[in-house]
Chains A and B, each alone.
Chain A
């Protein structure tokens, strides 16, 4: 039969020689191989103490951003919710009232902002869609939870700490951000 590729290898059907049939030499060869593995570097990462570094493009848990003055950037335009292929994002908009200028950057803000982490596929399309730089995917992932409800992250879970009032927490949150 004509070979379809040039990768065909003929099977070696030669009868074993005496030394091969003795089996001992091959056993010793195999044992030397396993012995050499004693000196190889172990790829194990001892997890709770050591952690594998995420790649710089890792897409993890979402963060709702604030501007330099600590005001929320999100305007509840809904583009992220539209962009979301898993339909994980819901929000309710509200209008900024007099005296809330130090809380919200623009006249409209998200009164309620929820991401269902069980639906989310961490594609990052919300990040791409956002015109206000308000949502980012960080380098942490959603921790385990006991209930399904626990995976619906509310605005308070997502919002980054205020750089004005909680500078340390903000810097920490910023540190793990992509």
Chain B
């Protein structure tokens, strides 16, 4: 009876963690929309949303309520099941990434040693890549099912953009993997903590490429061609309304949070707080400080995303493709060669 020998505590522990991580990501995404509007406003000398609640803090709730209360419209010509599947898939894919991110070291609670990571998969980075490339299905299916030429155009753009930039992203990561020698995100973070230097020091070019491609993968400005309003009206979610539209918009913000988390984990030491001796406080508190550190890093990255969005105009489509294929991929290859050469020289 092996099934009875299951460690139920383990399952409950993981379920609780999944719930916490999913709801925390949703909550952060909710307030990221608020942050986006606030950052945009402040960069443009405006006050931004300030009416709902103190400092406008209830604005995202009002926005969410509005989205839910809106009438749900499914166009006659749309392929119904795919139309419903699209936003769900986009949301699922963006939430799935959080499974492998190490949010902190480990805490001891109720006599259990709880790792603050849903699953320490030894192929963590591969998993992230697999999930990220699934994200484009949400957009593709939504755009296709809408039966609207603008949506379709936008979906095609999103797909070709994702494919082009995933290549450079993968190549940039290979260079990182050559230095770390592991695909597990937990191991990568621990190496950075023990090695005293974050990976950004060893891979500045790799990080730059990864950052640019991550921005393109999230469909953020200046790479938001799938949503280019002046060319495509609204993009792949043009026919969507109510919470289905909300899911698409939300998925974009969750993607942003997840790619920030991945960047913080892989290049900026994850939950490592620099110049701080974790052994000087109780291990549980040290773990919580680590979680806080990672969250702060994520927020900083999100701010950077927004800051770029409200500074730089959108690329033209040929510029986007040119940058991806003619600049980033050769640069990533060069970075890979350079890393290889340095590793060889050190041996």
A31 to B45, Cβ gap below 8 A?
A: no
Chain A residues near B307 (CB-CB < 8 A): 31, 34-35
Tell me the minimal C-beta distance from A24 to chain B in angstroms: 8
Chain B residue numbers with a CB within 8 Å of A41 are 45
Residue-wise, chain B 288-318 has the 8 Å CB interface mask toward A (1 for contact) of 0000000000000000000110111000000
**Counting CB contacts under 8 A, is B112 at the interface?**
no
Q: Which of A42-50, A80-88, A149-157 makes up part of the contact surface?
A: A42-50
Chain A residues with CB below 8 A from B312, complex form: 27, 30-31
Q: Which residues of B contact A37 (CB under 8 A)?
A: 42-45
> Which of A27, A30, A38 sits near B42, CB closer than 8 Å?
A38
Mark out the residues of chain B between 7 and 52 whose CB falls within 8 Å of any chain A CB in the assembled complex: 42-47, 50
A40 within 8 A of B: yes
In the complex, are the beta carbons of B46 and A34 less than 8 A apart?
A: no
Min C-beta distance of A170 to chain B, whole Å: 36
Task: Please report the C-alpha to C-alpha distance between residue A27 and residue B312 in the assembled complex, in whole angstroms.
Answer: 7
Task: Please encode chain A, from 127 to 151, with 1 for each CB lying within 8 Å of some chain B CB and 0 for all others.
Answer: 0000000000000000000000000
CA distance A33 to B311 in the complex (A): 9
**In which size bucket is the chain A interface?**
10 to 19
Q: When the two chains form their complex, are residues B310 and A40 in contact, meaning their CB atoms are under 8 A apart?
A: no
- Contact residues, B326-341 vs A (CB, 8 A): none
Q: Looking across the interface, which residue of chain A has its beta carbon closest to that of B222?
A: A27
Interface size bracket, B side: 10 to 19
A40 contacts across to B, CB distance below 8 A: 45
The answer for the CA separation of A44 and B310 in the assembled complex, in Å, is 19
Within 8 A of A (CB), among B231-287: none
Minimum distance in angstroms from A31 CB to a CB of chain B: 5
Q: How far is the CA of A144 from the CA of B312 in the complex (A)?
A: 41
Closest to B310 in A: A34
- In the complex, which residues of chain A have a beta carbon less than 8 angstroms from the beta carbon of B44? 37
Known A46-B47, A46-B50: A31·B42 in contact at CB below 8 Å: no
CB distance from A21 to the nearest CB of B (A): 10
CA distance A31 to B304 in the complex (A): 10
Across-interface contacts of A33 in B (CB, < 8 A): 311
CB distance from B339 to the nearest CB of A (A): 21
Contacts of B47 in A (CB 8 A): 42, 44, 46
Contact B45 A30 (CB under 8 A): no
Within A35-64, the residues touching B (CB, 8 Å) are 35, 37-38, 40-44, 46
* Residue on A nearest B319 in the bound complex, by CB: A23
With a cutoff of 8 Å between Cβ atoms, the chain B residues found around residue A34 in the complex are 43, 307, 310-311
Task: Report how far A44 CA is from B47 CA in the complex, Å.
Answer: 7
Q: Name the distance in Å between A27's Cβ and chain B's nearest Cβ.
A: 6
> Nearest chain A CB to B251's CB is how many angstroms away?
26
Nearest to A30 among chain B residues (CB) is B311
Beyond A34-B311, A37-B43, A41-B45, 20 additional pairs, beta carbon < 8 A: A27-B311, A27-B312, A30-B311, A30-B312, A31-B307, A31-B308, A31-B311, A33-B311, A34-B310, A35-B43, A37-B44, A38-B43, A40-B45, A42-B45, A42-B46, A42-B47, A43-B45, A44-B45, A44-B47, A46-B47
Interface residues of B (CB under 8 A from A): 42-47, 50, 307-308, 310-312
> Nearest 9 pairs between A and B by C-beta?
A34-B311, A34-B43, A31-B311, A30-B311, A44-B47, A42-B45, A38-B42, A40-B45, A37-B43
Q: List 24 contacting pairs A-B, 8 Å CB cutoff, sorted by A.
A: A27-B308, A27-B311, A27-B312, A30-B311, A30-B312, A31-B311, A31-B312, A33-B311, A34-B43, A34-B307, A34-B310, A34-B311, A35-B43, A35-B307, A37-B42, A37-B44, A37-B45, A41-B45, A42-B45, A42-B46, A44-B46, A44-B47, A46-B47, A46-B50
